């Protein structure tokens, strides 16, 4: 597969990836595949093929989710990304067949992206890794607030919060940040003083739009 009319955005949390996907699709009459668009996969997932993606679907007690060790949490996140890549590569051909440019907030790994699209069709957006750790529960996302309530229900909420944040630190490590920064793809760093329109202009330049 080679996606020559598709533009992929990868990077860290809080860097503005999904916002930029929406903005670019709106400006260029394209299709926006925003964060977790793979949730729209039409078939029920097989737990044997997708153990990480079905973990929460089949979970009996959600407190077990937050009680995992930091390494277990990171390993699960890594597994989710790999399984999401499989689903995305199944879904994208049909999405891209509609004749419009497609903008994707993707989980597809860097090695695969280098094989399936021109080098300038992948953009890296980065925010300070510590932002994700500090501000994870500040977002109004229902799932994040649900997890926050679970942590508060634990016998020792402070210890539970510390454990969860250690997992976030592993996921949002400096090493992961540096790998994205030095990937060879175009990079946009988060800048609070820059407007959405200015960031879109940088993305358009990077993509050659």
Share of the chain above pLDDT 90, in %: 86
Task: List the domain range (segments joined by +) for residue 187.
Answer: 6-201
Give the DSSP H or E segment for 32: strand 31-33
Asked whether residue 1 is assigned to any structural domain, the reply reads: no
DSSP string, 159-209: HHHHHHHHHHHHHT-HHHHHHHHTSSSEEEE--TTS-HHHHHHHHHHHHT-
Neighbours of 18 (CB within 10 A): 18
The chain-wide mean pLDDT, for the chain, equals: 93
pLDDT band at 1 (very low <50, low <70, confident <90, very high): low
Asked whether residue 81 is assigned to any structural domain, the reply reads: yes
Asked whether residue 173 is assigned to any structural domain, the reply reads: yes
| Number of domains composing the chain | 1
Q: What CATH number corresponds to the domain at position 92?
A: 3.40.50
What order of strands is seen across the sheet that includes strand 186-189? 31-33, 102-105, 6-11, 122-126, 186-189
Asked whether residue 89 is assigned to any structural domain, the reply reads: yes
pLDDT, mean of residues 1-23: 92
Asked whether residue 47 is assigned to any structural domain, the reply reads: yes
Asked whether residue 195 is assigned to any structural domain, the reply reads: yes
Per-residue pLDDT reduced to its tens digit, 120-138: 999 999 999 888 788 788 7
pTM of the shown model: 0.91
Structure tokens at 144: 């994040």
Asked whether residue 57 is assigned to any structural domain, the reply reads: yes
Does the CA dihedral 78-79-82-84 come out positive or negative? negative
Asked whether residue 76 is assigned to any structural domain, the reply reads: yes
């Amino acid at each position: 597969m080679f996606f020559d009319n598709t533009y992929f955005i990868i990077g860290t949390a809080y860097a503005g990836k999904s916002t930029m996907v929406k903005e670019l699709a709106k400006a260029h009459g394209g299709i926006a595949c925003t964060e977790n668009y793979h949730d729209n996969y039409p078939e029920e997932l097989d737990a044997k093929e997708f153990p990480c993606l079905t973990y929460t679907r089949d979970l009996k007690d959600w407190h077990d989710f937050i009680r995992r060790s930091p390494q277990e949490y990171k390993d699960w996140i890594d597994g989710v990304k790999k399984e999401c890549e499989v689903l995305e590569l199944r879904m994208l051909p049909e999405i891209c067949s509609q004749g419009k440019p497609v903008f994707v907030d993707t989980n597809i790994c860097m090695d695969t992206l280098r094989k399936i699209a021109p080098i300038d069709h992948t953009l890296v957006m980065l925010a300070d890794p510590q932002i994700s750790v500090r501000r994870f529960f500040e977002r109004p996302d229902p799932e994040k607030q649900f997890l926050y309530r679970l942590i508060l229900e634990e016998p020792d909420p402070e210890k539970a919060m510390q454990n969860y944040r250690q997992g976030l630190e592993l996921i949002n490590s400096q090493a992961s940040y540096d790998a994205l920064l030095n990937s060879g793809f175009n990079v946009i760093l988060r800048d609070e003083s820059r407007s959405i329109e200015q960031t879109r202009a940088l993305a358009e330049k990077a993509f050659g739009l």
